[in-house]
């Protein structure tokens, strides 16, 4: 009975550390849900790679690394994160500036720092974790809900890296970093009045943003959203083909490996940003609903774990990382299904590609760490 009791309340910091997951600071429910998405993702990717099994192998290896990142991140106690949060943020900022100066340009965007012979990485990826941590670090020293002054300073912490990433240009990551930071503010109890006020302000400033901030190709993407047929071979092509793929899937889909849109290469970026269209085409509404359910459960579990964290810093960081995960999937699916403009955001844990998967999994490790380590 006592065994059962312990198992039914896993990972409670106050409880016995006899279970394996408690010993390695992992939340089994969240891990199970994540694994569900990862497996689902690999199955769909096996279709999207269209016979190129080397890509599938690479993704499996990358997912192994991502799991390792999760486990490692979960082992580090929250105190370490708290201590290193400002340092991590400053290093991230320096790297972001470096990337603009000496970064490597890929497809017109300067996002990568190349250390020849060793590796290549995107500093902006680091900021997806460093920014919410820095904001949480800053706010946890202050009385919550945050005052106007502290809110403004938090926005500065968010805004500088978001701006640097935006000029690379990498609008997708910039949105995610901003979202992560703002999530901390929201979870910290930012006044609703200010929130609505800010919304009103942004709405009022929209025409100015359109005119002076957005680049031509970004404006084009937004226009295309409303009328993809206006440029069916150019900017509209992706949206026309992805909605066609999803819509043609119907309730049950065409069957795994049976999607004509992806197999015949009509669907662009089928294994990366647009992979949810493959889900929609081959597995239908049922497949998409299944994936969305898993995602929703991850968010629910994540927010629950966050609320159980032993410190304000832990709660804020964990909650913000969960919200980042949500922003990821929402922006991606909304863009592929044609309700948001095309922004380069992958489908979390499913899209082919490594960096974001590792960051996301490390993020889940941090969430687990915040929950499973003893309060300090």
Partner 1 sequence: MSVELSIKDPGREQELFVGRAITLFALVVILFAILVARMLTLQIVEHETYQLRADNNRTQIQTLAPSRGMIYDRNGRLLADNQTSFSLAIVAERVEDIESLLSAIVEILSLNTQQLERIREELAKRSRPDSAVVILEALSEKQVALLAVNRHRLPGIEVVSRLIRSYPMGAIAAHAVGSVRRLTKEDLATIEPVQYSGSQFIGKRGVEAFYEKSLHGKVGYQKVETDAYGRVRRVLDVQGAQSGQNLTLHLDSKLQAASVDALDGRRGAIVALDPTTGGVLAMVSQPSYDPNLFVSGMSSSQFSELSSSIYLPLFNRAVNGQYAPGSTFKPVVGLAGISSATTDWDETIEDKGWFKLPGQDRVYRDWSWTKDNSGGQGEVNLHRAIYRSSNVYFYDLASRMEVDSLLGFAGQFGFGRNLALDIPQASSGLLPTPEWKRNVKNQPWYPGDSVNLGIGQGDLLATPLQMATVAATIANRGRVVRPKMLLSSDDTIGEMNSVEEPPQIVGLSEEDWESMVDSMEDVVHRGDKGFRGNGTAWAYIGQKIGYRMAGKSGTAQVVEINQGEVYDEEALTEFRRKHAWFIAFAPVDNPTIAVAVLVENGGGGSSVAAPVARAVIDAHLFQEIASIR
What is the C-alpha separation between 333 and 280, in angstroms, rounded? Answer: 10
CB of 339 to partner 1, least distance (A): 6
Q: Collapsing DSSP states into helix, strand and coil, what is residue 232?
A: coil
Are 352 and 119 contacting, i.e. CB atoms less than 8 angstroms apart?
no
* Smallest gap from residue 375 Cβ to partner 1 (A): 9
Cβ distance to partner 1 smaller for residue 90 or 104: 104
User: Least distance to partner 1 from the beta carbon of 187, Å?
Assistant: 5
Angle in degrees, CA 7, 12, 17, rounded to 5 = 70
Nearer to partner 1, 49 or 333 (CB): 333
Least CB distance to partner 1 at residue 137 (A): 14
Judge contact between 371 and 308, C-beta under 8 A: yes
* Residue tagged 């795994």 (tokens): 256
For partner 1, the closer CB: 160 or 286: 286
Which residue's CB is nearer to partner 1, number 326 or number 364?
A: 326
The phi and psi torsions of 14 (rounded to 5 degrees) equal -80, -15
User: Looking at beta carbons only, is 166 or 284 nearer to partner 1?
Assistant: 284
Could you tell me the smallest distance in angstroms from the CB atom of residue 316 to partner 1?
7
- Residue reference for tokens 């009975």: 1
CB 309, min distance to partner 1, A: 9
Closest-CA residue to 147 (of 102, 194, 103)? 194
Structure-token pair, residue 253:
């889909």
Which CB sits closer to partner 1, 134 or 288?
Answer: 288
Six token digits for residue 359: 């960051």
Give the tokens for residue 117.
Answer: 């012979």
Cβ of residue 291: shortest distance to partner 1, in angstroms? 10
Helix orientation angle between 28-48 and 275-307, rounded to the nearest 10 degrees: 170
Shortest Å distance, C-beta 24 to partner 1: 26
Q: Report the distance separating Cα 255 and Cα 118, nearest Å.
A: 42
The 3-state DSSP class for residue 164 equals helix
Interface with partner 1 (CB under 8 A): 143-145, 183, 186-189, 233-234, 237, 240-241, 243-251, 260-261, 263-266, 280-281, 284-285, 288-289, 292, 295-296, 299-300, 303, 306-307, 311-312, 315-316, 319, 323, 326, 330, 333-334, 337-339
DSSP class of residue 19?
A: S
By C-beta, is 103 or 236 nearer to partner 1?
Answer: 236
- Sheet strands (E) in the chain: 104-106, 109-115, 119-121
Residues 6+ apart with CB under 8 A from 222: 214, 341
Q: Which is nearer to partner 1, 166 or 314 (CB)?
A: 314
């Amino acid at each position: 009975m006592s065994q059962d009791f312990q198992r039914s309340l896993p990972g409670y910091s106050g409880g016995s550390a006899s279970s394996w997951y408690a010993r390695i600071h992992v939340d089994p429910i969240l891990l199970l849900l994540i694994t569900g998405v990862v497996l689902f993702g690999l199955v769909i990717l096996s279709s999207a790679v269209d016979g190129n099994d080397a890509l599938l192998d690479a993704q499996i290896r990358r997912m192994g690394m991502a799991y390792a990142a999760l486990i490692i991140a979960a082992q580090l106690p929250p105190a370490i994160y708290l201590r290193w949060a400002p340092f991590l943020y400053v290093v991230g900022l320096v790297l972001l500036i470096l990337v603009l100066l000496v970064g490597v340009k890929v497809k017109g965007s300067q996002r990568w720092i190349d250390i020849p012979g060793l590796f290549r990485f995107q500093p902006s990826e680091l900021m997806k974790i460093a920014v919410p941590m820095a904001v949480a670090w800053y706010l946890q020293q202050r009385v919550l809900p945050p005052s106007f002054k502290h809110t403004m300073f938090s926005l500065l912490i968010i805004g500088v890296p978001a701006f640097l990433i935006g000029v690379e240009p990498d609008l997708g990551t910039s949105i995610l970093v901003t979202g992560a930071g703002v999530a901390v503010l929201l979870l910290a109890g930012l006044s609703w009045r200010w929130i609505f006020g800010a919304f009103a302000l942004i709405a009022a400033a929209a025409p100015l943003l359109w005119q002076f901030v957005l680049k031509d190709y970004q404006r084009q993407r937004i226009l295309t959203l409303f009328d993809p047929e206006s440029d069916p071979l150019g900017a509209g092509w992706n949206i026309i083909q992805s909605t066609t793929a999803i819509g043609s899937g119907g309730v049950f889909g065409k069957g795994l490996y049976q999607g004509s849109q992806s197999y015949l290469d009509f669907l662009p970026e089928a294994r990366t940003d647009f992979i949810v269209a493959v889900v929609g085409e081959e597995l239908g509404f049922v497949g998409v609903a299944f994936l969305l359910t898993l995602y929703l459960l991850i968010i629910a579990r994540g927010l629950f774990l966050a609320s159980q964290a032993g410190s304000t810093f832990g709660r804020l960081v964990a909650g913000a990382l969960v919200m980042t995960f949500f922003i990821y999937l929402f922006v991606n699916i909304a863009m592929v299904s044609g309700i948001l403009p095309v922004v380069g955001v992958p489908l979390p844990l499913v899209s082919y590609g490594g960096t974001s998967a590792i960051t996301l999994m490390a993020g889940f490790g941090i969430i687990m760490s915040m929950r499973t380590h003893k309060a300090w």
